[in-house]
Amino acid sequence: MRELIEKLVKTSDLTDSELKLLIDNISDEDLDYLNKLARKKANEIYGKQIFVRGLIEFTNYCKNNCYYCGIRAANKNAERYRLSKEQIYECCEQGYKLGFRTFVLQGGEDVFYSDDLLCEIVKTIREKYPDCAITLSIGERDEESYKRLFEAGANRYLLRHETADKHHYQKLHPENMSFDNRIKCLETLKKIGYQTGCGFMVGSPYQTTDCLVKDLRFIKNFQPAMVGIGPYLSHKDTPFCDFENGSVRKTLILLSIIRLMNPSVLLPATTALGTAKSDGREKGILAGANVVMPNLSPVSVRKKYSLYDNKICTGEESAQCRVCLSNRMKSIGYEIVTSRGDNINFIKGDNKNV
């Protein structure tokens, strides 16, 4: 196993069967070794600095019915909300004061936010904060829409592919959703010039190790700027309510493998990881992650953006979240930094929109 890990460090790759072996059979001792080497790789590229993104969950209306997600359209128990433009700007203002230089606007696929409205929001934020990055995470849209939003000033887009196995994708989503379209959207985003993020849930229902190997292979080929992964966590009002949560251990294995296969990728230690285990995000950083995404949404709506049960950080003000995360990072010897935190390849000038 050690030889495999060393090969992974040296060549930034393994064969599919080696990856499978590593994921399925790694011992606790070797996992510790793998996590340390992945952390070392992150240090070499990004140092001991952890980037922060201010997450603004601006709507929990969604037209989709993903079987795993708590804000799916068919969940009649979800209390729906939308933030007004002014509320969104207020979140940014607070965030800016707290040192955030990236705003992530995330939401369900909510048709209320037309291209015109979203472009107006993006433009306003862009004009007010020319030194900040604007990230969108609002699902599948058409090419024209992605283009307009990019031209309005958005720089980055997070769209998890959810799984790179078509058959598995169909088990996680209703028939009207398509794996091919999801992948096409990712390709379009990249082509337009967004710093594009993909990702998946670890331990989602019906996921096999072969699915995970396909995820790793997809990421290696797609070369995203970011990869968001976290454990699948069940939500009581979804068709998947009886499935077990994904494991923190497996998430840590995958974070490290992703770091070593894609050394310069931006890799968040996600809220889901912090929800699954109280020191999950710290463990994620120590396994090679280098981004955290504290919540900037108004406290009044935080509980309502409930993708899974027991989500953390739903009661605190943004400032408290910022301090709490900062202390958590300090406790493991890391420092949160105030900067846009671009992927190193984009800073080098591969992309004009930075």
Chain positions contacting ligand SAH, by CB under 6 A: 68-69, 106, 108-109, 137-139, 159-160, 162, 201, 230, 232-233, 235, 272, 307-308
Give whichever of 8 and 164 is closer to ligand SAH, judged by the CB atom: 164
Give whichever of 75 and 318 is closer to ligand SAH, judged by the CB atom: 75
Nearest-approach distance from CB 58 to ligand SAH, in angstroms: 11
**CB atoms near residue 316 (< 10 Å):** 16
Give whichever of 21 and 177 is closer to ligand SAH, judged by the CB atom: 177
Give whichever of 55 and 133 is closer to ligand SAH, judged by the CB atom: 55
* Amino acid, res. 278: S
Quick one: CA torsion of 28, 235, 84, 122, rounded to 10 degrees?
A: 40
Nearest-approach distance from CB 29 to ligand SAH, in angstroms: 29
Nearest-approach distance from CB 161 to ligand SAH, in angstroms: 9
**CB atoms near residue 271 (< 10 Å):** 23
Nearest-approach distance from CB 326 to ligand SAH, in angstroms: 24
Nearest-approach distance from CB 131 to ligand SAH, in angstroms: 26
Q: Which residues contact 251 (CB under 8 A, 6 or more apart)?
A: 202, 203, 229, 230, 231, 273, 276, 280, 284
3-state secondary structure 118-167: HHHHHHHHHHHCCCCEEEEECCCCCHHHHHHHHHHCCCEEECCCECCCHH
Nearest-approach distance from CB 79 to ligand SAH, in angstroms: 17
Q: How far apart are the first and last CA of the chain?
A: 40
Helix (H, G, I), strand (E, B) or coil at 169: helix
| 336 contacts 102 by C-beta, under 8 angstroms | no
Give whichever of 139 and 288 is closer to ligand SAH, judged by the CB atom: 139
Which tokens belong to 98?
A: 């707290």
Nearest to 232 by CA among 270, 259, 267, 265: 270
Q: Which residues contact 51 (CB under 8 A, 6 or more apart)?
A: 102, 266, 290, 291, 292, 336, 337, 339, 341
Give whichever of 215 and 342 is closer to ligand SAH, judged by the CB atom: 215
- State which residue has the least CB distance to ligand SAH: 139
Give whichever of 70 and 153 is closer to ligand SAH, judged by the CB atom: 70
Helix (H, G, I), strand (E, B) or coil at 18: helix
Nearest-approach distance from CB 69 to ligand SAH, in angstroms: 4
Q: What share of the chain is helix, strand, coil (3-state, %, to 5)?
A: 45, 15, 40
Give whichever of 238 and 326 is closer to ligand SAH, judged by the CB atom: 238
Nearest-approach distance from CB 18 to ligand SAH, in angstroms: 26
